[in-house]
A and B are shown apart, each in its own frame.
Chain A
Amino acid sequence: MHTITTALLAIGPPGIPVLHPQSHYAHSIFELSSWVLWVCLGIFLLVAGLVSYAGWKFRARPGDADPRQVFGSRKWEAAYVIGPTLLLAVIFGFTLHVMHTSDPPAQASGDDIVVVGHQWWWEVRYPKLGFVTANEIHIPAGKNVQFGFESMDVIHDFWVPELGRKIDMIPGRHAKIWLAADHPGTYLGACAEFCGKEHAWMRIRVIADTPATFAAWSSAESRAVTPPATTSEQRGLHYVTSMPCASCHTIVGTSARGIIGPNLTHLASRETLAAGRLQNTPQQLSAWLHNPDAFKPGSHMPNLHLTDDQRNDIVQYLETLK
């Protein structure tokens, strides 16, 4: 039955499949959803069927006189008070159970990952591993991961449906939930609470790695970046640290320590740019620097009106940040 649910809701390839659970948290929500949707379909067919049948069977024909006047029936009314109440009680009981299995209590301390919402990107901290990244979240597959959530400005909402519930990120609060991915892979999500101009381009990628890949990735993230080798790269570093870039972005090991925009320390290791807006290729990176508004109008990334040479040097340098 659950397979049919998935099939029915996902005829053709789905974008970000909500009913395609990839963790035990998401799976318990999926089971509940599947049952509730079938019950809803049943009630819908009952109501639509009754309305259609009554409309056809009891339609007036020319010359018909008024029918016998019926004012009600306590028996029937009792039936459709008690019937739906019992049905809702069952659904409610199931709801209570799944609330617990899909959203078990978090530990007071010890978030594995803290995601901080910004207009319009995600800061991703790994407090236990000691580094900070942005927009792409790596987790080890097959492990329950405790996430903490904060916001630096307005309310955002973190939602990766295949992995579990969504949760609001509210300024002044610290929320916690458990998420997991059973298998390695890339899971898409998005900010689900309207947060201003570029809410649409505040997308999430969670990358679940095998234990070995995750260990390799996290040790790479913890490593200092290698200093630029070529003169072009060196000029690029110079521009990044001397121009306004450094007032917003951090690159660990350089004088760039801004905290307004995404941490760029290992930018070149990421798959996308600008919270999922562009693929992370040298061409796209260059285009982004040339005119951010062409891709993400309203974002806080300014157009610095770089010369082509400056832009080329900066891209050369940023590409070294593996």
Chain B
Amino acid sequence: MSTSEIPIVPSEIDKLQRFQEHAGMLKWLASVDHKQIAVMYMLTSLFFFLVGGIEALLMRWQLARPENRFMGPETYNQLFTLHGTTMIFLVAVPALLAFGNYFIPLQIGARDIAFPRLNAMSYWLFVFGGVLLYGSILAGNAPDMGWFSYAPLSEKPYSSLGGVDYWALGLLVIGIGTVATAINFLVTIATLRAPGMSFKRLPLFTWMSAVNSFLIIIAFPALNSALFMLLIDRNLHGRFFTPDGGGSPILWQHIFWNFGHPEVYIMILPAFGIISEVIPVFSRQPIFGYEFVAGSTVAIGLLSFAVWAHHMFATGMGHDVDVFFAAGSALIAVPTGIKIFNWIATMWGGKIRFTTAMQFASAFLIEFTIGGLSGVIFAVVPMDWQLTDTYVIVAHIHYVLFGGTLFGLFAGTYYWFPKITGRLLNERLGKWHFWLTVVGFNATFFVQHLLGFRGMTRRVWTYPDLPGWGLLNMISTVGAFILGGSMLILLWNIYRSRTHGERAGDNPWQAWTLEWATTSPPPPYNFAEVPPVHSRRPLWDLHHPDDADWMREDQP
């Protein structure tokens, strides 16, 4: 092969430029190492988390008092659109992909991800998508139609400026990168497992990331199709979503939520995976009912494609359609409940060490249950007819995505930070972070249930001085600033502990999966030698040769 051609499949002769072979910034920017790309994903999503958080605080400041004039509707509508889009597409999904990128290869004993260059492409598409989305501000108009961009509000006659186009193009670019990552994860898990690492022995984080990758591959093309149709409507005089000319605004909702509801599970399944790693390790017990936890993930994955229209009960689709999606939405609570009870059963009879990671994982169980129960409310169609598009929905999504996804990510951060950096995060700062987060989070969002039950609709830039509304909104705002403060503690902890934290060693938590079998941080090639895998807990087996899991008849 001549050296001037870029080979499709890199041969050993055309060695890839890898870890630390460049100098300075280029060492990172040109990297195709899965761990470096993962760290860049983490830092980028952390950056966007701060941006989205500041947007949230500005909104809460505006809503602190009735008829507040801190900002007008133009600014407010742009802020909630950017906040939603940012937190979902630039924070939750990429942060979870970051952990997948770092730990899937390590957990299965691989040297890297299957397609390292494709992996780098995914990352840079994510960055450029974010730049496009925020580039709309430089172009003079941020999108202001809400993150689900309902037609015809998103169409040219009602959103004539370019914000919607930047939004659609940004998400398209991110979507392509996300699908590429999902393919990368699946191929990695399918082909690069260490000897002995059968599918039945996959660590649960990897298991759930695999199911998640299927969801991404099926769901994101629906979004990208919808975005293309919207761009055609807006720029080429299409009529997909406008009633004049035969289109239908409802069509947009069907296609968007056909992506949008699986997307909710895309944002939670990897967090379930993190929780399924953290709880056993700190309870000193194996996961209770591995098969049920893994199997219920598949059930959630399948059912997640039969629930989308529960976002549309208020559109008047007719009772028959409502009933089908109500049944699907109620049913999906069962596999989710299985997980919650299995996690509790894992703690039962254990010797629980309440590190910050375990605190966040335990709090996840409670907060996510609140979000799950308020989700059941929206499967009860007549309750949805009352409560959808009110602050109960705002509370619900934040209990699921903050109390669920973010608490999971925080647990993962405290759990895996020592592996990534070789140093422990400070536990004292961790406790402050945890308790302020719990207090701030519940103060912000619990009262929003009450606001919804008192008739406050979502996405309002201001509200009349109706009895009770001002006080509850003020509590929510105070809570949001406490929450903001707790994030500063996390940032300081990460910044400081990276260089000054206590040295971690290879396996500070006495964990059992393969990522803890190598050094912290791992070398560019990940493992000098992969330990033998004879069960789900290779490191348990290594340290307990007399009580190894593979000796048990009920363990694969």
Contact = CB atoms under 8 A, between A and B. Distances in A.
A42 B164 CA distance: 44
B249 A297 contact: no
A12 to B, nearest CB: 5
Contacts of A167: 314, 316, 385
Contacts of A103: 319, 382, 385
Interface string B143-161: 0111000101100011000
Contact of B331 (A72, A88, A165): A88
A32 B340 CA distance: 26
A17 B455 contact: yes
A304 interface: no
Contacts of B386: 18, 29, 33, 161, 165-166
A130 interface: no
Most chain-A CB neighbours within 10 Å: which of B290, B323, B341, B379? B341
Most chain-B CB neighbours within 10 Å: which of A47, A65, A76? A47
Given A69-B285, A88-B333, A155-B153, A58 B351 contact: yes
A77 B72 CA distance: 53
Contacts, number: 280
Nearest to A153: B158
A70 B249 CA distance: 53
A166 B243 contact: no
A24 to B, nearest CB: 13
Interface residues of A, number: 91
Given A64-B351, A68-B349, A98-B382, A192 B454 contact: no
A221 interface: no
A279 B449 CA distance: 29
A64 B389 CA distance: 50
Contacts of B72: 297-298
A65 B410 CA distance: 27
A217 B382 CA distance: 33
Given A165-B386, A170-B250, A54 B348 contact: yes
B337 interface: yes
Interface stretch (B34-42, B127-135, B463-471): B463-471
B45 interface: no
A37 B383 CA distance: 10
B453 A18 contact: yes
Given A67-B350, A70-B349, A72-B290, A29 B158 contact: no
A112 B144 CA distance: 36
A230 B455 CA distance: 44
B462 to A, nearest CB: 5
A48 B354 contact: no
B428 interface: no
A91 to B, nearest CB: 6
Interface residues of B, number: 98
A32 B382 contact: yes
Contacts of B376: 36, 40, 88, 91
Interface stretch (A197-205, A207-215, A262-270, A284-292): A197-205
Interface stretch (B95-103, B105-113, B258-266, B363-371): B363-371
B64 to A, nearest CB: 15
B461 A200 contact: yes
Nearest to A295: B67
Contacts of B450: 9
B459 A18 contact: no
B500 to A, nearest CB: 26
Interface in B321-378: 322-323, 326-327, 330-331, 333-334, 337-338, 340-342, 344-345, 347-354, 362, 365-366, 369-370, 373-374, 376-377
A116 to B, nearest CB: 14
A155 B249 contact: yes
B387 interface: yes
B385 A14 contact: no
A51 interface: yes
Contacts of A51: 344, 347, 362, 365-366
B387 A18 contact: yes
A94 B250 CA distance: 28
A306 interface: no
B554 interface: yes
A188 to B, nearest CB: 7
Interface string A116-160: 000100000000000000000000000000000000011101010
Contacts of B288: 70-73
Given A18-B454, A197-B73, A168 B382 contact: no
Interface of A: 9-10, 12-19, 28-29, 32-33, 36-37, 40, 43-44, 47-48, 50-51, 54-55, 58-61, 64-73, 76-77, 80-81, 84-85, 88, 91-92, 94-96, 98-100, 102-103, 119, 153-155, 157, 159, 161, 165-168, 170-173, 175, 177, 188-201, 203, 276, 297-298
7 contacts: A48-B369, A54-B344, A59-B351, A69-B549, A71-B288, A99-B323, A167-B385
Interface of B: 72-74, 77, 144-146, 150, 152-153, 157-158, 242-244, 248-250, 283-286, 288-292, 314-316, 319, 322-323, 326-327, 330-331, 333-334, 337-338, 340-342, 344-345, 347-354, 362, 365-366, 369-370, 373-374, 376-377, 379-383, 385-390, 450, 452-464, 466-469, 471, 547, 549, 552, 554-555
